[in-house]
Chain A
């Protein structure tokens, strides 16, 4: 599903607060059949994470495998294929802290 520019701008206000924050994976599933916009990244992880005491759901960065208990950092990554409106969607994904 396409994020239109206005939605994307509003969403960014929340996403930018998360950037750089660290947390822990509570549950992680590996998405092998994705939606059209995310097919390029499959298989990718989708996690429920605890970030500074609050729960968030987000995609994992790249094809990196994330497991329960892994420490993560919220990082800026491409979210989907470019839209027909020319918008290149960037947002928050979870990256493992090594």
Chain B
């Protein structure tokens, strides 16, 4: 049984002060249905990916909210896994389809974050860490520790980290829905404000509003296919990790996805990976098997992950320049890759979505564009 991405849609990402959470949900859902060119009643169920609407927008019960935007009120539920909420919701839908519970489902990811002050958003995001055992941490602080561990073991440099943001801002220039359309030099990134040493402002993905939706079906229709998927988990705290120079959850998720797809890392032409911080992309391209452990930073600085390199990483601009509306990100990665496949720009693409500092990871492999 094959799952096809029948339709997909990504809203503009950014500071969308004139748009509410519901506006974003509605735009993404209607956009995906229009793109699939289907009767809306073919949607049998809706899964909503979201982390913070209960806290930032005082709106829970997002399943019912999404369902009420459709005329036939299909069954709906919200799925939360911090920044991996989107990837997890897609996996849940795939399981619903493969179990034959449904034939056609919609997954929509949404987050409305920019109404909060920076300190409030920082505190909200810190909720993805272990509240009790990592008290006082922030997301940049946890990724700061991961960065220090990588620097210590492999000699990863400031310049290599900056090369990640430099490339992603450049690539976002080709994505009209990206939050930022501005390029930064390696020098500008390396001299930007320190947030949690050694992480600087231009290493960090932004606070964003946005939504993305996909229509998935097991019906025999044309379109990009889900070739494989996998989910991995790890300890919530860094203190309990066996290694700080890799995300074990990514490795486990990738193993499952590669096995299901019957391919290996060398077959992947493009990937959208979770660069919430620069080190996130370096860890991802190593843990997914695109580069040897410890070589990710060097490869990025050499241009091996940019257009024309060995493998194109984050053609959308990633989270860094594309934007990171938390619950929408995992769905956006899949929607963006599906669109590239549909346009014939890539044959086999991979997406990697991470929750927290690596407690959850989801990997998808898409193909079938030929």
Find residues 111-165 in chain B having any chain A CB closer than 8 Å to their own CB. Answer: 117-120, 122-123, 126-127, 131-138, 140-141, 144-145, 148-149
Given contacts A30-B194, A31-B196, contact A37 B138 (CB under 8 A): no
Complex: A55 Cα to B149 Cα, angstroms: 15
Complex: A56 Cα to B133 Cα, angstroms: 8
Total number of A residues with any Cβ neighbor in B under 8 Å: 27
A-B contact count (CB 8 A): 87
In the complex, which residues of chain B have a beta carbon less than 8 angstroms from the beta carbon of A32? 193-197
CB atoms of B195 and A35 under 8 A apart: no
CB atoms of B145 and A55 under 8 A apart: no
- Least distance between A59 CB and chain B CB atoms (Å): 4
CB atoms of B197 and A35 under 8 A apart: no
In the complex, which residues of chain A have a beta carbon less than 8 angstroms from the beta carbon of B133? 56-57
CB atoms of B131 and A1 under 8 A apart: yes
In the complex, which residues of chain A have a beta carbon less than 8 angstroms from the beta carbon of B132? 7, 11
Complex: A59 Cα to B134 Cα, angstroms: 9
B238 contacts the other chain (Cβ, under 8 Å)?
yes
Find residues 216-269 in chain B having any chain A CB closer than 8 Å to their own CB. Answer: 237-240, 244
CB atoms of A33 and B195 under 8 A apart: yes
Nearest A residue to B198 by beta-carbon distance?
A: A29
A19 contacts the other chain (Cβ, under 8 Å)?
no
CB atoms of B197 and A33 under 8 A apart: no
Complex: A11 Cα to B133 Cα, angstroms: 9
Contact partner of B196 among A11, A29, A48, A58, CB < 8 A? A29
Given contacts A31-B138, A33-B140, A57-B133, contact A1 B238 (CB under 8 A): no
Find residues 43-92 in chain A having any chain B CB closer than 8 Å to their own CB. Answer: 44, 46, 48, 55-59, 68, 79, 91
Supply 16 A–B pairs (Cβ within 8 Å), ascending by A.
Answer: A27-B149, A27-B244, A28-B148, A29-B148, A29-B199, A31-B138, A33-B118, A34-B122, A36-B122, A46-B138, A46-B145, A48-B239, A55-B239, A56-B133, A57-B133, A57-B137
Q: What residues make up the interface of A, taking CB atoms closer than 8 Å to B?
A: 1, 7, 11, 27-39, 44, 46, 48, 55-59, 68, 79, 91
